[in-house]
Amino acid sequence: MNISFYLKLYLFTIPIFFAIDMVWLVYAARGFYKNNLGHLLSPAVNWPAAGAFYLIFIAGILIFAVVPSLKGGSLGRAALWGGMFGFFTYATYDLTNMATLRNWPLKVAAADILWGVVLCSSVATISTLVGRWLAR
């Protein structure tokens, strides 16, 4: 596996991540966040910041979960390490917000952290399958 392989894997992972995350953001969480964080939400998304976050975060899933699984692991390992990456990153975000922002709801933190585990575990597992396919 060379840099070309990893670049292709990254490019394939981007739409996988967005497909899964957008289902959550558009259908499941929109009202939940608005009802619980409406007082903090910006009226418009800062797209450059959002884009930078997604590009960096997807690279993190690949580095910490997918690549190790491709180098001798299993789909279970991808799911586990992806889920752990999601847990630690989302917990860092939400618990920092609880510590520093007024009225950050515990139920938002709990739902967000759980979503981070599900999202990253799913993306890591699917991307590992894609990586296996690309390696053939």
Type of residue found at 107: K
Question: Tens digits of per-residue pLDDT, 53-71?
Answer: 999 999 999 999 999 999 9
Q: The pTM is what?
A: 0.93
Mean pLDDT of the chain: 94
Residue pLDDT, tens place only, 91-100: 999 999 999 9
List Cα–Cα distances, 84 to 60, 93, 95, 101, 132, in angstroms.
Answer: 12, 14, 16, 25, 21
SS3 content of the chain, % helix, strand, coil (to 5): 85, 0, 15
Provide the residue ranges of all domains of the chain, joining segments of one domain with +.
3-30+46-135
> Is the model's pLDDT at 30 over the cut of 90?
no
**48-56: average pLDDT:** 96
